[in-house]
């Protein structure tokens, strides 16, 4: 046990020391390689800004410090620990540029934000699940230290997933550009009426639609809003983009899957007031468009490196998170 040098943590009831936890020493790590040969030495931590993650954060920082890792915490994450704990702190963008591995503690939303930070970086991303479903954050707090010990020794699975780049074009010029790891959504705002818009793929007219909006999703996002809208589940490594209408007035409007290199344009038209329309990326604050603006969505040129424990199985995640049936146990 090693509780004497743990940082104090902030809870809803005030500051206190975390519960005493078992910390793996380097000599007892369950790893096949020498504990001195860590794959990642400088590790960044971003946590959901909620006291519920504090004890897990304290356990993780103590564990990684004992292994000899250099830790850097996002400023708001560091505020969950007692000031003066001694950890290096940065604003999120600077943190993402200064580490070998970025670890998130929270739900998929926390990881989505981190993924957007890493859009221009060749830095791997790993998630500890303290949210609800957790399709992306597949390490549980219960086995966090054991799995991380193995991952830090270089035993892990890595996959590359792409983001979407969303641009709002005003009079032919890019007025705003944002990234999305899950989806970009054009949707109605502050009105009960349907909105009207045209959709184009690679310059070819697809349809005129009256609906509550359109979800444009990566394969990663097919388990998110697109799934609620009736879209298909997609394997994460597919080179494809999914378009799912939201409550279309024409019932024959169905989800469409197009190539990953497609250029998708959406133009609000008809009687729709553009002030009743917003564009949101990964559920962030909606952006306003003006009449005549064109919303252009395409694949971002750089992928995200997502790390999983060795033996990661996408369909096992689907079975577990979505409650799919398995073969009954043999008696």
Q: Which of 108, 183, 282, 293 is catalytic?
A: 108
DSSP-assigned states of every residue in 227-282: HHTTPPP--TT--EEEEEEES-SSTT---EEEETT--EEEEE-TT--GGGEEEEET
**Among candidate residues 187, 202, 164, the one with its CA nearest the CA of residue 277:** 187
Strand-strand pairing, 256-259 and 240-246? antiparallel
Query: Is 72 in contact with 87 (CB distance < 8 Å)?
Result: yes
Cα 72 to its chain centre, rounded Å, is 20
Query: Is 271 in contact with 196 (CB distance < 8 Å)?
Result: yes
Alpha carbon distance 300, 297 (integer Å):
9
Any idea what the Cα angle at residue 119 is, between residues 113 and 124, rounded to 5°? 85
In this structure, what token pair is assigned to residue 133?
Answer: 């479903």
Reply yes or no on whether 108 is catalytic: yes
In this structure, what token pair is assigned to residue 275?
Answer: 């002030």
Catalytic annotation, residues: 108
């Amino acid at each position: 046990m090693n509780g004497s040098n743990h940082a104090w943590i902030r809870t809803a009831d005030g500051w206190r020391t975390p519960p005493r936890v078992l910390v793996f020493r380097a000599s007892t790590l369950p790893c096949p390689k020498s504990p001195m040969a860590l794959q990642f030495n400088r590790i960044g931590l971003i946590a959901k800004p909620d006291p519920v993650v504090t004890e897990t954060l304290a356990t993780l920082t103590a564990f990684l410090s004992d292994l000899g890792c250099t830790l850097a915490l996002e400023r708001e994450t560091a505020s969950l620990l007692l000031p003066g704990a001694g950890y290096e702190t940065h604003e999120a963008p600077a943190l993402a540029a200064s580490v070998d591995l970025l670890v998130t503690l929270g739900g998929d939303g926390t990881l989505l934000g981190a993924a957007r930070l890493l859009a221009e970086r060749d830095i791997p991303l790993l998630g500890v699940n303290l949210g609800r479903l957790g399709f992306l954050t597949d390490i549980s707090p219960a086995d966090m230290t054991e799995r991380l010990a193995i991952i830090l020794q270089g035993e892990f699975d890595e996959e590359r997933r792409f983001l979407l780049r969303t641009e709002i074009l005003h009079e032919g010029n890019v007025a705003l550009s944002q990234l999305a790891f899950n989806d970009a959504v054009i949707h109605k705002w502050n009105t009960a009426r349907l909105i009207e818009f045209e959709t184009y793929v690679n310059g070819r007219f697809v349809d005129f639609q009256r609906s509550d909006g359109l979800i444009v999703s990566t394969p990663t996002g097919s388990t998110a809003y697109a799934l609620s809208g009736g879209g298909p589940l997609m394997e994460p490594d597919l080179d494809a983009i999914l378009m799912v209408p939201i409550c279309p007035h024409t019932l024959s409007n169905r989800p469409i899957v197009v190539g990953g290199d497609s250029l998708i344009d959406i133009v609000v038209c008809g009687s729709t007031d553009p002030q009743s329309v917003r564009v949101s990326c990964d559920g962030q604050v909606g952006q306003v468009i003006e009449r005549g603006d064109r919303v252009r969505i395409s694949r971002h040129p750089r992928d995200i490196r997502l790390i999983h424990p060795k033996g990661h199985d996408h369909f096992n995640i689907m079975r577990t998170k979505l409650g799919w049936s398995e073969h009954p146990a043999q008696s």
